[in-house]
Amino acid sequence: MDAVAVVTGASSGIGAATAVKLGEAGYRVVLTARRADRLDEVARRITAAGGTAQTHQLDVTDRAAVFAFADSLDRCDVLVANAGGAIGADTIADSSADDWLAMYDVNVLGTLHITQALLPKLIASGAGAIVLMGSTAGLITYEGGGGYAAAKHGTHAFAETLRLELYDQPVRVMVIAPGMVKTDEFAVNRYRGDAEKAAAVYAGVAEPLTDEDVADAVVWSVTRPPHFNVDLMVIRPRAQAAQYKVYRELPPK
């Protein structure tokens, strides 16, 4: 397959798992993130399995760098705009405006930059696919999640608007919205390195979603026929019936 898939935030977690699975599906994968050493590790996994991968150190909040990166590509068939993240779990009364700005910058403006930069190539492919990494936080709010929920609501609004604007173009716009996903870094980063607070998020939940689960959803969506669009796929672990309804097994006495 000559098709090229670009994955942002591909150095770990969902982004890394998605890049590997896209490589297994036959795409030439272009991995981007800020941490070049971690990108190289993921690329080696893809090439060791017989796939094709290249890496590009990139901060999606740097608009000039994003456009320079896009200009360096010969084509782009799939964009997985995965770069994002949450910072803090403070109430709105106590939260930091700087944290809100940082979350908006990467989750919304970073998505804007990479989408604008690659859109001409996605259209030119004749069957482009854009997958935005949303969240159930983009559908419902919760205490302590105001800044992240606002940013992910922005991601979802971005996708819905873009789909309307590209209705006559050969590009699909999709959103994957995971609920509780346990990865190595997301919760730890959110709680500023506090591993104990991060672990408490998943305490008693036998099987939260994994990065592999979300990657499966992404790859399934982009490998549907070009007329088949996944507007929004909400995925949660079975234990999470809703944002506030999570089954947690009691620890042994």
Task: Give the domain CATH number at 152.
Answer: 3.40.50.720
167 is catalytic: no
Which pLDDT band holds residue 251 (cuts at 50, 70, 90)? low
pLDDT for residue 129 is more than 70: yes
* Domain of residue 54, residue span: 4-246
Residue 183 is predicted with a pLDDT of 83
Would residue 252 count as lying in a domain? Answer: no
Would residue 253 count as lying in a domain? Answer: no
Bigger pLDDT: 252 vs 234 = 234
Would residue 171 count as lying in a domain? Answer: yes
Residue 189 is predicted with a pLDDT of 78
Total domain count, the chain:
1
Taking each continuous run of H as one helix and of E as one strand, the counts in the chain are 9, 9
Would residue 10 count as lying in a domain? Answer: yes
Of 27, 104, 142, 148, which is the active-site residue? 148
Average pLDDT over residues 43-51: 97
Residue 200 is predicted with a pLDDT of 84
Q: Residue 131: which region, alpha, beta or left (left: phi > 0; alpha: psi -120 to 50)?
A: beta
Which pLDDT band holds residue 92 (cuts at 50, 70, 90)? very high
Q: Rounded to whole angstroms, how far apart are CA atoms 198 and 237?
A: 18
Average pLDDT over residues 70-88: 97
What dihedral do alpha carbons 240, 246, 247, 251 form, nearest 10°? Answer: 130
Q: Are 89 and 52 in contact (CB under 8 A)?
A: no
Average pLDDT over residues 144-157: 97
Which pLDDT band holds residue 252 (cuts at 50, 70, 90)? low
Average pLDDT over residues 38-43: 97
Q: Are 108 and 134 in contact (CB under 8 A)?
A: no
